[in-house]
Amino acid sequence: MDRMPSDELRDTPGPGPPASEDREARARRRHYARPAVDIYSTESEMVVLADMPGVRKADLEITVERDELAIEGKIAGRREAESALPWGYHRRFKLRTAFDRERINASLREGILRVTLPKAATEQPRKIAVD
């Protein structure tokens, strides 16, 4: 298998602990997991599929800020139960492709998050007519 191309997207490693990290953020860093993802790209869109079992729609946050896509979901009850399973999932990606932000959509089913990012018209191949 070839190494995965990184021209369209790059993983952002988790941020190191800031000097004034509060208990909440520290717990999250230690108990959250990065979801496994499959990501594919076509001419017209990029699709991110992330395994986030246990996350409910109401607790899911998807953010596209500047050139970064962030997905985060807290799992209800895990912290209270002091579970050894992840208390939530989070992961970030640096996007190197321009997307049509208004049309980004997401769905969550059977613990799998699907984020569809339609590419901006400028990114799509344009057929040039030859006179």
Residue ranges in contact with another protein by CB under 8 A: 1-6, 8-9, 36-42, 46, 49, 51-57, 60-66, 81, 83-86, 101-112, 115
- Asked whether the beta carbons of 36 and 112 are under 8 A apart, the reply is no
User: Least Å distance between CB 124 and another protein?
Assistant: 14
Question: With respect to another protein, which residue has the nearer C-beta, 109 or 126?
Answer: 109
Question: With respect to another protein, which residue has the nearer C-beta, 27 or 112?
Answer: 112
Alpha helices in the chain (DSSP H): 23-31
Cα dihedral 57, 27, 68, 39 sign: negative
- Measuring CA to CA, how many Å separate 33 from each of 3, 72, 120? 23, 10, 31
User: Least Å distance between CB 127 and another protein?
Assistant: 16
User: Least Å distance between CB 24 and another protein?
Assistant: 19
